[in-house]
Amino acid sequence: MKEPKIKQRKKMRFGIFDVLNYVLMVLLALIILFPFYNAIIISFLSEKELAHFNGIWPDSFTLDAYKVIFSDKWVFNGYKNSIIITVVGTIYTLFITATCAYGFSRPHFKGKSLIFNIFVFTMFFGGGMIPSYILIKNLGLMNNLLSLILPSGMSVYYMLLMRSFFINIPSSIKEAAMLDGAGEWTILFRIILPLSKPIIATVGLFTMVDYWNAWFNAMLYINSADKRPLQLALREIINSGASTSSLLLQNIEKLSTQSYTMASVVVTMLPIMFIYPFLQKYFVKGILIGGVKE
């Protein structure tokens, strides 16, 4: 027995929508991925090959740009400093954010509304660059990696996401733990956080990207070249329009500045790109549950 024409039309329209949706998503993915592809390809080209590059696939590749980069000590110093800042900063931020979010997720306590409103106020208004600089200087943190970590201890936005996630955890679990004699710290670290892997992974990923890509505070507070993070060194290379590496000057005939710049970009972005796949499975769940309004 044949299905009514109306149902057949609905199935056809749904199928067409799926096809168009997939086509659109593929096009958007290609648009997003092409700059990464272009940067990676150019980083492997010599100056002669770059002049004839058609934008899709070159005839030959060279590792000269990467040899120059890894022969320069700023890369290893930059990597070391960026890894220290990112690892220590992420742990520090997650601790501050989780404890604060847990406090605001608990039932009403005296002054909760006022304190919460003060936190939210800081999302929209801040003291500005000059007061921050004066504070860091008066604390004696100039030219210290702590100046790049301590001021970024907590993002109110991330705290709100984590707070919403904590609120959605059944209160019966917390009450049962309290009946067994567990304190607030025990409940947080032994019950709440193990159940909150999606939001912790999500906030942790955002935080790692923030710390890894940060360069402006380093430009303000760091004077020593051996304490510069990787992104600040990359910024100086791109802004100068030419490398200060003596090896590059020796190989200037076969290695272009653009290839060297793109190789620097690839070197700095790959670590975060490798970490993301391990956290991706928690990412969507953490955002969806953490973003639900209680």
Q: What is the pLDDT of residues 24-75, one digit of tens each?
A: 999 998 998 888 888 888 888 877 777 777 767 877 788 878 877 777 677 7
- Enumerate residue ranges in the chain where pLDDT < 50: 1, 12, 241-247, 249, 251-252, 290, 293
How many residues are there in the chain? Answer: 294
pTM for this prediction: 0.77
